[in-house]
Amino acid sequence: MKVQHLLTHPVLTTATLATALLTSSASFAEGSHTSGIHSKLSTSQNIEPTFDIVHTKVTTKNSIATFHMSVASQAGTSKPSASGKLAGSSVYSYVWPTSLDSASVGFESNAGILALAVTAHPDFDDTPLYDENADNNPGNDGNIWHSHWVVLQPNEQCGKGALGVVDIPEGTTPKLPKTWPGLPILLDSPGWDPVFNGDIVEVNVAFDDITVFDKTSFDGVTAGLRVNQSVHAPLLCVVNVIDIASGDLSLPGKTNQ
């Protein structure tokens, strides 16, 4: 699968570790905007500053990959309104599409476009292993920003030229990560906490083999997704690409460059 080809359509609309995940304020200092993909501020009145991408990069140190995105103003301050039901509910997201093989995080090899996503959605919870709001109920935390690995493919049922999270056909048993949340889609809930600081969102992700990033390319996207009204295949579609770091989803970013 040639990732770049799939992403060029203009409509394309988851003790040492603890220390690494507690990002210090120093990581958000002046030097954080070096390298990576630099983007122009949007001139559109329709793009909220909190989703207007300014800078995107992926860096590695030891066994940690850091996914970084900065926006025009106050990252993470806008979330979907609750609809009270799963069908048709909305998801807001900060996304890093990558050229990583989906097998690198526990899915089948070459299953689609592997992306790290930071999402919020008040109408459902897809992180059953974690209690993000610390209220002793792990099933009511969807509205708190959290991370996923998602596998995406073009899906005409999501709209002409649009992407959807890959569905798991009924009766099949594909290879899945240990932290797969049980939904019938290629989505993982690994529990890497996103860190918001002013205009920046970052996620630190541990990898057993950090060398997979040596030749990895990436992009940055802010987008809205929606659960299908029938809550059936396709379950989750990208319905609104808000901003693209590269402008054309060509994945021009190179790790540590």
173-187 confidence digits (pLDDT tens): 999 999 999 999 999
**The pLDDT of residue 4:** 34
Name 61's Cβ contacts closer than 8 Å, sequence gap at least 6.
none
CB 77 within 8 A of CB 197: no
* φ, ψ dihedrals at 153, nearest 5°: -145, 155
**The pLDDT of residue 33:** 62
- Residue 124: give the domain boundaries: 3-27+47-254
Chain centroid to CA 29: 23
Tell me how far apart the alpha carbons of residues 69 and 67 are, in angstroms, rounded to a whole number: 7
Tell me how far apart the alpha carbons of residues 49 and 154 are, in angstroms, rounded to a whole number: 28
**The pLDDT of residue 6:** 34
**The pLDDT of residue 183:** 94
Chain centroid to CA 224: 11
- ∠ at Cα 62 (60, 67), nearest 5°? 25
CB 29 within 8 A of CB 54: no
Domain membership flag for residue 152: yes
* φ, ψ dihedrals at 4, nearest 5°: -60, -40
Domain membership flag for residue 247: yes
Domain membership flag for residue 36: no
**The pLDDT of residue 40:** 84
Outline where the chain has alpha helix (H).
3-6, 16-21
Query: Could you read off the pLDDT tens digit of each residue along the chain, which spans 257 residues?
Result: 333 333 333 333 333 333 333 333 333 333 456 789 999 887 777 899 999 999 999 999 999 999 999 999 999 999 999 999 999 999 999 999 999 999 999 999 999 999 999 999 999 999 999 989 899 998 889 999 999 999 999 999 999 999 999 999 999 999 999 999 999 999 999 999 999 999 999 999 999 999 999 999 999 999 999 999 998 889 999 999 999 999 999 999 999 99
Number of residues written out for the chain: 257
Domain membership flag for residue 137: yes
- What predicted TM-score, i.e. pTM, was given to this entire model? 0.86
**The pLDDT of residue 1:** 35
Domain membership flag for residue 32: no
User: Mean pLDDT across the chain, nearest whole number?
Assistant: 87
**The pLDDT of residue 32:** 55
Domain membership flag for residue 220: yes
Tell me how far apart the alpha carbons of residues 50 and 78 are, in angstroms, rounded to a whole number: 7
**The pLDDT of residue 131:** 85
* Placement of tokens 């920046």 in the chain: 200
Domain membership flag for residue 188: yes
What residues are paired with 115 via a beta bridge? 97, 150
Total count of domains within the chain:
1
Task: For the chain, give the longest Cα–Cα distance.
Answer: 51
**The pLDDT of residue 77:** 97
Domain membership flag for residue 163: yes
